[in-house]
Amino acid sequence: GAVVSQHPSWVICKSGTSVKIECRSLDFQATTMFWYRQFPKQSLMLMATSNEGSKATYEQGVEKDKFLINHASLTLSTLTVTSAHPEDSSFYICSAVTGTGNSPLHFGNGTRLTVT
Amino acid sequence: GENVEQHPSTLSVQEGDSAVIKCTYSDSASNYFPWYKQELGKRPQLIIDIRSNVGEKKDQRIAVTLNKTAKHFSLHITETQPEDSAVYFCAAEGALIFGKGTTLSVSS
């Protein structure tokens, strides 16, 4: 149980275009999902907390207008990287919790974004 | 806010040896401390977690100890195997704040 599916697993796009990444909880409802960014050989950096039916909470330094998050249902959150640039190239990964309070995270497979 | 420090950043051991990774945290109100294992290009996976009402938890070759007074917790892997080679992350309070990771290499 507690499967999180993330799509696409990799994407290559041209500079200036937008890319949408989907994160789905397949067998549970996730009122809260998290989006992380991970550079090579580095840790996961929390970008934002996605709450179903409300605006996402962004971490300091993360541009909300560049990284658009939508959590329209209890099983789907999307991250759109707008006007992507080469410096946005990274591994993006989502996660969700099955319970309230402190619970283990269940991660998606991640999306390798390359902006050319 | 919470700050998590993880050491060492790299750790090389021989197969069969034990490996210990330590983390410290700053927020005394933190109550949940998970450990994740991440293989190259893959998702992190929970391997063990501990809550503040216990001092130690064990699952086969993996154990975690927690010292709330000193605000540190450690991952212990015994009888290491090559497939234990990966990056290990500690986290505090629901894993919103991750340590920088430890790259464990187990050589046979």
- Nearest-5° Cα angle at B59, B54 to B61: 125
Residue pLDDT tens, chain B, 108 long: 778 999 999 999 999 999 999 999 998 888 889 999 999 888 999 999 999 888 999 999 999 999 999 999 999 999 999 999 999 999 987 557 889 999 999 999
**Residue in chain A nearest B101 by alpha carbon:** A43
Contact of A34 with chain B, judged by CB distance below 8 Å, is answered with yes
Q: Which residues pair with B21 in a beta bridge?
A: B75
CB within 8 Å of B17: residues ≥ 6 apart? B80
At residue A39, does pLDDT exceed 70? yes
What is the dihedral angle through the alpha carbons of B39, A78, A26, A35, rounded to the nearest 10 degrees? 40
More confident residue, B75 or A29: B75
Whether A9 contacts chain B with CB within 8 A: no
Interface touch B42/A95, C-beta < 8 Å: no
Interface contact A42, partner B, CB < 8 A: yes
In this complex, is the C-beta atom of B28 within 8 Å of any C-beta atom belonging to chain A? no
Give residue B105's identity as a one-letter amino acid code: S
B46 touches chain A (CB under 8 A): yes
Chain B's closest residue to A38, CA to CA, is B41
Report how far apart, in Å, the C-alpha atoms of B87 and of each of A41, A63, B102 are.
9, 28, 5
Query: Which residue among A44, A102, A112 places its CB closest to the CB of B44?
Result: A44
Out of B42, B89, B94, closest to residue A43 by CB? B89
